[in-house]
Amino acid sequence: MATMAKLKLSAVTRKVEQVSAEQNMRQRMLDHLGEQLSIAKAMLDGTAFTVKQTRYRTDENGERRATEHSKRLRQWFWHDVTGRWFLELRYGSAVLMLDKDKSSIEVGTKEKLTETLEMVMEAVKAGELDAAMNNAALKRLQNKNQRLA
């Protein structure tokens, strides 16, 4: 007990932060937009961008082994035959409807892609895409319920 007497004890406990569903949804979208930003920067630099995932599998001896795999990343941006670039936002597998009948953002040139992604990230932080993400989540839930019925 002589060692413990040298330490300064406290009654303070760690507070667990409760994250709302909206904050969780925004953070998930920001994570995916960060990946898209990294893909765009790598494309502009002429390099490849990969994300490693750790997967656990049970081998023939019954032991769990960790293996690293490259995560499959799909670009949310593309260009048409005229060279104009577009960006389509996704929430899960659903494409976000940004306006009544509009689902993509016209970026213009390839060089403006990173700037546009950063602007979209600011919009997500400000909560401007909450309604579109809620609609996509609701539609996904409805489709799931229809499959189960």
Domain encompassing residue 108: 23-148
- Is 102 inside a domain boundary? yes
Nearest to 88 by CA among 112, 64, 66, 107: 107
- Is 109 inside a domain boundary? yes
pLDDT tens, residue by residue, 57-72? 998 899 999 999 999 8
- Is 75 inside a domain boundary? yes
d(CA 114, CA 5): 56
Mean pLDDT of the chain: 90
- Is 40 inside a domain boundary? yes
- Is 8 inside a domain boundary? no
Pairwise pLDDT comparison (147 vs 69), residue with the higher score: 69
- Is 7 inside a domain boundary? no
* Amino acid 125: pLDDT: 95
pLDDT at 143 over 90: no
Asked if 125 and 23 count as a contact pair (C-beta separation under 8 A), the reply is no
- Is 4 inside a domain boundary? no
**Total domains present in the chain:** 1
The region, left, alpha or beta by phi > 0 then psi within -120 to 50, assigned to residue 82 is alpha
- Is 70 inside a domain boundary? yes
pLDDT tens, residue by residue, 11-57? 888 888 888 889 999 999 999 999 999 999 999 999 999 999 999 99
pLDDT at 1 over 70: no
Identify the band that residue 149 occupies on the pLDDT scale cut at 50, 70 and 90: low
